[in-house]
Structure 1
Amino acid sequence: MSLTGGNRHDVTQLMPLPDAIPHIRGTRGRPRHRPRRLFADRGYDYDKYRRLLRARGITPKIARRGAAHGSGPGRTRWVVERTFARLHQCKRLQTRYEIRADLHLGLLQLAYSIICLRRLRTSFRNDQ
């Protein structure tokens, strides 16, 4: 997760985000440092960033502007949109009122913990 000011465009964090991902464990051998693919919506549709991602060995799966909805990575991106919807259940996070970034980050982490707790409760109820 990357936290920026509310008035900054999201694309400014596109290149630092893959660098912040920890080692990805998998099968035998050296762990991967970067993901194989990066899914994004139309807001990230710039050829400059596609080239930079390919140079790092990441295949960009970015929706094209002007293409019909439901095509491209939209089928995979619903997971991200669902997470945003769950975060917005915490009304304080819909609009950022906190000026200090550490307070906003703390509220985000608390909301993530509540979401995980609710998810675990439902999964344990279904197992019994």
Structure 2
Amino acid sequence: MITTGGNIPDVTQAIALVDGIRPVRGRPGRPRRRFEALLADKGYDSHAVREQITARRIMPIIPRRGTTGIARLGKLRYVVEQTISHLHQFKRLAIRWDKHLDIHDALVSLACALICHRRLPRSC
């Protein structure tokens, strides 16, 4: 997560966010350094972002501005929207009232930990 000011476009932080993601775990063997595809909304539609994502051998799935949306990717978008919805259950995070960035980032990390704790099966 990268927190910016309210008047800064999201597209300016897209590459920094992609570069900040750790290696993907999963199958046995050497971990993949990058994920295969990037699913983003229209706010990230930029020729420069598409070129830089493709240069990192990641397939950009970003709808063009002026189109109706991403076709046949409702399940994947649902995961993103559900995560944002879970974060907005914490009233203090729905609107950023904190003037200090470190406090806001700490509260977001705590909220993510609580969400994961609630979603894990109780047998663990």
Aligned residues: 122
Residues 118 and 22 (structure 1 numbering): CA distance in 2 closer, same or farther, change over 3 Å? same
TM-score (norm 1): 0.83
After superposition, give the CA deviation of every residue in 1:46-98 in whole Å (9 maximum; x if it has no partner).
12211111111111011122222462644412111111111111111111111
Q: CA deviation at 1:110?
A: 1.5
Q: CA deviation at 1:27?
A: 3.9
Percent identity at matched positions?
44
- SS of equivalent residue, structure 1 residue 38: strand
Unaligned 5+ segments in structure 1 are: none
CA separation in 2, counterparts of 1:2 and 1:14?
9
Q: Is the 8 A contact 1:63 1:73 kept in 2?
A: no
1:40 to 2:34 alignment:
no
Q: Is the 8 A contact 1:23 1:33 kept in 2?
A: yes
Unaligned 5+ segments in structure 2 are: none
Partner of 1:28: 29
Greater CA drift, 43-52 or 101-110: 43-52
Q: Is the 8 A contact 1:93 1:108 kept in 2?
A: yes
Residues 101 and 95 (structure 1 numbering): CA distance in 2 closer, same or farther, change over 3 Å? same
Partner of 2:117: 117
CA separation in 2, counterparts of 1:69 and 1:54?
20
Q: Is the 8 A contact 1:90 1:111 kept in 2?
A: yes
CA separation in 1, counterparts of 2:56 and 2:70?
28
- SS of equivalent residue, structure 2 residue 61: strand
After superposition, give the CA deviation of every residue in 1:4-38 in whole Å (9 maximum; x if it has no partner).
22322111111011211112234434x32222111
Greater CA drift, 111-120 or 69-78: 69-78
Stretches (4+) displaced over 4 A: none
Q: Is the 8 A contact 2:40 2:61 kept in 1?
A: yes
Q: Is the 8 A contact 1:38 1:60 kept in 2?
A: yes
Q: Is the 8 A contact 1:98 1:104 kept in 2?
A: yes
